[in-house]
Amino acid sequence: MPGDFVLGIESFPYLILFGLLIGGLGGFFGVGGGFLMVPMLNVAFGVPYNIAVGSDLGQMCGMSTAATVRHVRFGNIDFKLGVLMIAGTATGVEAGARVLEVLKHAGTLTIAGHETDAMSLVMSLVYVALLVFLGRAMIRESLRTIKRASGRVELASEAPASPVASRLRTMKLWPMVSLPASGIEAISLWVILSIGFATGFLSGMLGVGGGFIRMPALVYILGCPTVVAVGTDLFEIMFSSGFGVLTHSFKGNVNLVLVLALLIGTTVGAQLGASYTRKAGGPWVRFGFGCLAFVGVIMVVIKLWLKFTQG
């Protein structure tokens, strides 16, 4: 049962090393690393998904606070957009955390004579889908960029918005709000809240920052300039992870020793990883990131298979 999990203090140094590795990879690839952190904690240390999600949100809260403190001086945060989005984000985080609670108490499932706990099975499958989606998107995009660059074709700085994104952006559903800091004259509040809810749900259930959805949504749906989207995304992650760690602590899903070890490891690792990014080309870094996601898929599938066959 997930509640039986006890993390020994003797694991503390290994968890710092693990945080260093994931933080280093996150820093190198320019991502938070939550999508790798949670499944790998389960695979490598046997941490139940509910504890991994709650504790990873604690680690993310610290990292995003540090990043926002550093980013705020650049003035690239649209505070009005960030505050408006918080309502949707908080609701989404709570909904995601409650879905995880339902899974935590769902007990075991018997499939083809093999017994396994429902939370591990569902979360592993959701993570496999998420990692395949992210890895595939990143590999396709990086290969396209590499191909275009070798053909000396000039790249557009931003891809054109899809018809759905354009329709959402021009939707006249009351109340309409203006976002002067992002250069947006009028946009429906419901669009902002929906983006917040979707990313918040992923945060609360999976322990990820949700930047891979929020960033494109801010740029292509709302029409934010990319620099403002980056700053506002950081601000939003700080609140979603802060609220996430609070609501998960009410549910007993936060292991403080794990949070501290991950914070120490990822803080140092992210700086080391980021310093090496400068020496590597952008598309190749994204290609490596995509491949890494598939390594994560293989590890989650092997762990799930072993658990399923050996009990």
Partner 1 sequence: MGWLTWLQELGSDADGVAPGFQAQSMYLAVCVVLPVTVGLFVGFSLRLVERVLGVELGRGGH
- The SS3 of residue 141 is helix
Residues 206/208/211/213 CA torsion (nearest 10 deg): -10
Among 259, 285, 300, 304, binds partner 1 (CB under 8 A): 259
Among 137, 251, 288, 301, binds partner 1 (CB under 8 A): 251
Residue 11 interacts with partner 1 (CB under 8 A)?
no
Residue 63 interacts with partner 1 (CB under 8 A)?
yes
Q: What are φ and ψ of residue 185, in 5° steps?
A: -75, -45
**Hey, what are 119's tokens?**
């939370």
CA gap 103, 204 in Å, rounded: 13
Instruction: Count, in order, helices (H) and strands (E) of the chain.
Output: 11, 4
CB of residue 245 vs partner 1: minimum separation in angstroms? 6
CA gap 58, 117 in Å, rounded: 25
Residue 296 interacts with partner 1 (CB under 8 A)?
no
Q: CB under 8 A: which stretch of 121-129, 148-156, 250-258, 302-310 binds partner 1?
A: 250-258
Residue 118 interacts with partner 1 (CB under 8 A)?
no
Residue 271 interacts with partner 1 (CB under 8 A)?
yes
Q: Check if the beta carbon of residue 82 is closer than 8 Å to that of residue 232.
A: yes
Q: How many residues in the shown chain lie near partner 1 by CB under 8 A?
A: 64
Q: Which residue's CB is nearer to partner 1, number 152 or number 278?
A: 278
Site for partner 1 in 86-115 (CB under 8 A): 101, 104-105
Q: Which of 174, 177, 214 is nearest to 93 (CA)?
A: 214
Among 39, 96, 207, 209, binds partner 1 (CB under 8 A): 209
Residue 203 interacts with partner 1 (CB under 8 A)?
no
Residue 17 interacts with partner 1 (CB under 8 A)?
no
Q: Check if the beta carbon of residue 53 is closer than 8 Å to that of residue 253.
A: yes
Let me know if 301 is exposed, middle or buried by CB neighbors in 10 A (0-12, 13-18, 19+).
Answer: middle
β-pair partners for 116:
109
Q: Which of 232, 260, 214 is nearest to 68 (CA)?
A: 232
Residue 249 interacts with partner 1 (CB under 8 A)?
yes
**Hey, what are 79's tokens?**
């505070």
Residue 218 interacts with partner 1 (CB under 8 A)?
no
Q: Name the amino acid, one letter, at 192.
A: I
Q: Which residue's CB is nearer to partner 1, number 191 or number 292?
A: 292
CB of residue 33 vs partner 1: minimum separation in angstroms? 6
Q: Scanning the structure block, which residue is given the tokens 């403080």?
A: 256
Contacts of 70 (CB under 8 A, 6+ apart): none
Residue 281 interacts with partner 1 (CB under 8 A)?
no
CB of residue 144 vs partner 1: minimum separation in angstroms? 23
Q: Which residue's CB is nearer to partner 1, number 263 or number 297?
A: 263
Q: CB under 8 A: which stretch of 83-91, 126-134, 142-150, 241-249 binds partner 1?
A: 241-249
Residue 66 interacts with partner 1 (CB under 8 A)?
yes
**Within 13 Å, how many C-alpha atoms sit on residue 261's CB side?**
24
Site for partner 1 in 20-59 (CB under 8 A): 23, 26-27, 29-33, 50, 58-59
Q: Check if the beta carbon of residue 56 is closer than 8 Å to that of residue 97.
A: no
Residues that bind partner 1 (CB under 8 A): 1-4, 7, 9, 12, 23, 26-27, 29-33, 50, 58-71, 73, 101, 104-105, 209, 211, 233-234, 237, 241-242, 245-246, 248-257, 259-260, 263, 267, 270-271, 273-275, 277-278
